[in-house]
Amino acid sequence: MRKRLIVSAAAGALALLLSVPASAAQAGPGAAGIGDPYYPSAGNGGYDVSHYDIRLKYQPATDELEGTTTILATATQDLTRFNLDFVLQVKEVLVNGRTAAFTTSGEQELVVTPARTIAKGSPITVVVRYADKPGEVKRGGYSSWRRTPDGGVAAQEPESAAWWYPSNDHPTDKATFDVSVLVPNGTQVVSNGTLSTSQRPGWIRYNYRQAKPQATYLATLAIGKFDIRQDTTPGGLPVITAYSPDLGANAGAAQASVERTGELTDWLSTIFGAYPFDTVGGYVPNVPTGYALETQGQIFYSPAQFARGANTSVVVHELAHQWYGDSVSVQRWSDIWLNEGFARYSQWLWSDHENEGTAQELADFFYDYYPANDPFWSIKPGDPGADNQFAGAVYDRGAITLQALRNTIGDDKFFTILKGWPTEHKYGNATIQQFQAYAERISGKPLGELFNTWLFTPGRPAAGTNGIGAAPAAASLAPGVTTGKHPEPKSWKKIQETNNVHEHKR
Ligand code: ARG
Ligand code: ZN
């Protein structure tokens, strides 16, 4: 589902002049990648998906997954062949009702050759039938299907789709989803959106529907034993939470955090505007991972994040992503600051709300925390590279950037932007350059130097730049002390528990 670009009449006429005459356009294969510089084979060219219908049967004891995924798409060129991103064993592919030839090539490309060329603009219905043990399928020594003692979980960024459904696996091709999973009685299923179930002897079918556009990596699937709870917020938004019964000592802290999902969503709505999806929730499976993931309307958490007690900060981070990351998604993976910088900053706002340190105090604290020669400052949050997409700098320097912006344009304009941006690009994709242009428009100030300094220039900016890291006020120092570091906000360690990227250095 790609948003149509609104082009002015003049620009349209120019494009027409520059484009190759239609008669010269050749039918050909769709590209094997969608053109993302960080991940050249991610996504595919030649078509645009509008809907995934994913119908699965799973045996937790043996990890046997059988599936039929139906993809509704539109050809964006005359297509003789196209790719899907998928790693499981395929049994059969149909395109528009006819058997299609297929091969697997490269890391995770399923190459489909339909019986007939598909004309540009025409609808495509692809049916892929498959069966495999996803936990045993590795790429680069790695499976994105994580086995648990009673099932398995798919939740990873930038990819995990290929281990449970074939797709155009890039955030720019959003679609709606139906996920329907048949499991033995006594097993539960978690996925995105509204839930209904139906029973048949010995088996139960879980049906999840995501009716709002969703990026492929934000679809999640967890199968196993879960205590699933359904409720609604005071405003009427359905809330689904789910917990593995085997969280041990972390169970209480996990529930005391994730059960606040509805309340925290309402609080974030006061800052970011109306919540963009039909359901909200979170689940905590029995996995040893250290990260959480903003899977759309149904957030994945790791039990380890609650090992030191309740952590509402991580819940705020993942909920903030529903606006910044899920509704407005990256155009290219290098735009990841638009997700992580804002999700981290929302934790700073929550810290302020809870009287555990203001955003300015956190910005000053982290400015000191990473000394000027720390490798932290060598990563550019605005273009960190694929290997550093989730490095601490994208989060912490990313949030410092927002405090620098706030100091420069003032609270009124800053909060207007925080609320306006998710509306401006609702259910779409955007770049950092578009954000800068938007912030310049709302604030009426040129901001090129600010963004260049904080997002695109390696090295720690001089103390005091845009009001960040200036020497602490004399009044905050102990008697007789004339210089020193900024005070330690109470919230900072909890905030860092969101991702296990950092060790606690102090
Ligand atoms: N977007 C996730 C979060 O910040 C982080 C995912 C980290 N994934 C990874 N492979 N390191 O909540
Ligand atoms: Zn995040």
Q: Which of 390, 395, 500 to mutate for ligand 1's pocket (most ligand atoms within 8 Å of CB)?
A: 390
Which positions ≥6 away from 448 have C-beta within 8 Å?
436
Q: Whose CA is nearest to atom 9 of ligand 1?
A: 157
Q: Which of 499, 500, 502 to mutate for ligand 1's pocket (most ligand atoms within 8 Å of CB)?
A: 499
* Contact criterion met (CB below 8 Å) for 276 and 210: no
Structural domains in the chain plus CATH codes: 25-218 (2.60.40.1730), 329-501 (1.10.390.10)
Q: Which of 217, 218, 291, 300 to mutate for ligand 1's pocket (most ligand atoms within 8 Å of CB)?
A: 291
Tallying the residues shown for the chain, one arrives at 506
Counting from 1 in the atom list of ligand 1, the atom nearest the Cα of 389 is 11
**Cα–ligand 2 centroid distance for 65 (angstroms):** 30
Q: What kind and span of H or E run contains 212?
A: strand 203-214
Specify the pLDDT at position 19.
45
- How far from each other are the two terminal CA atoms of the chain, in whole angstroms? 47
Is the pLDDT assigned to residue 3 strictly greater than 60?
no
Is the pLDDT assigned to residue 1 strictly greater than 80?
no
Ligand nearest to the CA of 289: 1
Counting from 1 in the atom list of ligand 1, the atom nearest the Cα of 501 is 11
Query: Per the omega criterion (within 30 degrees of 0), is the bond before 384 cis?
Result: no
Ion ligand 2, residues whose Cβ is below 5 A away? 340, 343
Counting from 1 in the atom list of ligand 1, the atom nearest the Cα of 292 is 12
**Cα–ligand 2 centroid distance for 319 (angstroms):** 9
Is the pLDDT assigned to residue 4 strictly greater than 90?
no
Ligand nearest to the CA of 159: 1
Q: What is the β-pairing status of strands 188-190 and 64-75?
A: unpaired
Pocket-forming residues, ligand 1, beta carbon under 6 Å:
156-157, 291-294, 317-318, 340, 390, 499
**Cα–ligand 1 centroid distance for 294 (angstroms):** 8
Is the pLDDT assigned to residue 12 strictly greater than 50?
no
Specify the amino acid at residue 281: G
Which positions ≥6 away from 462 have C-beta within 8 Å?
none
Residue 392: pLDDT band with limits 50, 70, 90:
very high
Give the pLDDT confidence of 331-344 residue by residue, as tens digits. Answer: 999 999 999 999 99
**Cα–ligand 1 centroid distance for 229 (angstroms):** 25
pLDDT (mean) for 118-147:
96
Distance CA 118, CA 78 (A): 6
How far is the CA of 119 from the CAs of 22, 73, 126, 244, 459, in angstroms? 13, 12, 15, 48, 51
**Cα–ligand 1 centroid distance for 301 (angstroms):** 11
Ligand nearest to the CA of 498: 1
Q: Whose CA is nearest to atom 5 of ligand 1?
A: 293
What is the pTM (predicted TM-score) of this model? 0.93
Which positions ≥6 away from 158 have C-beta within 8 Å?
39, 42, 217, 333, 389
| Residues paired with 124 in a beta bridge | 73
Residue 58, classified by CB atoms within 10 Å of its CB into exposed (0-12), middle (13-18) or buried (19+), is: buried
CA torsion 333-334-336-338 (nearest 10°) is: -120
Q: Which of 142, 159, 218, 293 to mutate for ligand 1's pocket (most ligand atoms within 8 Å of CB)?
A: 293
What string of DSSP letters covers 36-61?
Answer: BTTBTTSS-SSEEEEEEEEEEEEETT
pLDDT (mean) for 205-226:
98
pLDDT (mean) for 199-203:
96
Computed on alpha carbons and rounded to an integer, the radius of gyration of the chain in Å comes to 24
Residue 13, classified by CB atoms within 10 Å of its CB into exposed (0-12), middle (13-18) or buried (19+), is: exposed
**Cα–ligand 2 centroid distance for 327 (angstroms):** 14
Mean pLDDT of the chain: 93
- 135 backbone dihedrals φ, ψ, rounded to 5°: -65, -20
Residue 38: pLDDT band with limits 50, 70, 90:
very high
Ligand nearest to the CA of 344: 2
Which positions ≥6 away from 406 have C-beta within 8 Å?
359, 414
Distance CA 106, CA 41 (A): 9
- CA angle, residues 347, 359, 488, in degrees to nearest 5: 95
Structure tokens, 470: 């200036």
Distance CA 98, CA 114 (A): 8
pLDDT (mean) for 454-475:
92
Distance CA 276, CA 288 (A): 30
DSSP state of 293: B
Q: Whose CA is nearest to atom 2 of ligand 1?
A: 293
**Cα–ligand 1 centroid distance for 2 (angstroms):** 25
Counting from 1 in the atom list of ligand 1, the atom nearest the Cα of 339 is 1
**Cα–ligand 1 centroid distance for 471 (angstroms):** 33
**Cα–ligand 2 centroid distance for 404 (angstroms):** 20
Counting from 1 in the atom list of ligand 1, the atom nearest the Cα of 314 is 12
pLDDT (mean) for 116-125:
98
Give the pLDDT confidence of 48-58 residue by residue, as tens digits. Answer: 999 999 999 99
The SS3 assignment for 233 reads coil
Specify the pLDDT at position 500.
66
